[in-house]
Amino acid sequence: MRIVKEQGLEAKVASVVEAAIEQAGYRLVRVRTSGLNGMTVQIMAERPDGTMTVEDCEAVSRAISPVLDVADPVDRAYHLEVSSPGIDRPLVRKSDFETWAGYLMKLETNRLIGERKRFRGKIVAVADDGIRIERDQPAYGEPASVEIPFDAIGEARLVLTDDLIAASLKADKAARKRRGETVEEDGADPH
C-alpha cells in the first residue's frame, strides 16, 4: 500500500489507473502531471520486484489507456508517459523505505517537523508509523537524527550515489535471474 499519495488531478488519475496497473501485474509508484507538450500525464510503475523494462512500460500503457479513455479524468488533451521509477526512485511504500534503508535520500514533509520541512540523510530505522533518518548535513544545533511519521511525508526520493547505483544494478541482476532471464556475469545485458 502506498503511503505517499498524490493530491488533486494526480490523485484522480491514480484512483482511475491503480487497479488496472495491479491487474496487469505491476504496482503504481506515482502519478505526475505537467504542462510539457501542452499536458503530460506521467505514470510511474514497477514490477513487484522493483524492476521495470521498456516492454513492461508498454504493457502498463496498454492496460491503462482504455481505462483512462472511459473515465476521462483529465479535462483536456494530454500525452501519456509510462516510466520506471529509475535508480533515484521515489519512496512511496513502507517496503521502499525498508528496502533502501542505509541509503541517502531527500524528503519533504507536508508539515513542520522540528521547525523544518526538508530533510536529507540515510534511512536508519523503519517502524510501523514512520522512519528515522540520520541527517548527513544537520545545521548547527540541530539533531543529527530525526523521526518522521509516514503521514507527514509529502515526497521522498533516493539521492543518486555510487553506492546506490551499485546496489540497484545488483538488485536488477538478481531479479532478472529469478525471472529466468540470461544475465552475463559482468552485469552486461546480453540482449
97-102-106-111 Cα dihedral, nearest 10 degrees: 60
Please indicate, yes or no, whether residues 102 and 151 belong to a single structural domain of this protein. yes
Inside any domain, residue 186: no
Give the pairing of strands 104-113 and 116-126.
antiparallel
Q: How confident is the model at residue 188 (pLDDT cuts 50, 70, 90)?
A: very low
Evaluate whether residue 183 is within a structural domain.
no
CATH number of domain containing 27: 3.30.300.70
Rg (the chain; Cα; Å):
18
70 and 15 share one domain: yes
Residue identified by cell 500500500 is: 1
CB 134 within 8 A of CB 121: yes
Asked if residue 146 has pLDDT above 50, the reply is: yes
pLDDT tens-digit readout, 57-106: 999 999 999 999 999 999 889 999 999 999 999 999 999 999 999 999 99
* In the chain, beta strands by DSSP E: 27-34, 40-46, 79-83, 104-113, 116-126, 130-135, 145-149, 153-158
Same domain for 74 and 41: yes
Q: Are 123 and 131 in contact (CB under 8 A)?
A: yes
Q: Report if residue 163 sits inside a domain.
A: no
CATH number, domain containing residue 146: 2.30.30.180
Structural domain count of the chain: 2
Host domain of residue 22: 8-83
Structural domain contains residue 33:
yes
Handedness of CA 62, 66, 72, 75 (dihedral sign): positive
pTM of the model: 0.87
Burial class (CB in 10 A: 0-12, 13-18, 19+), 96: buried
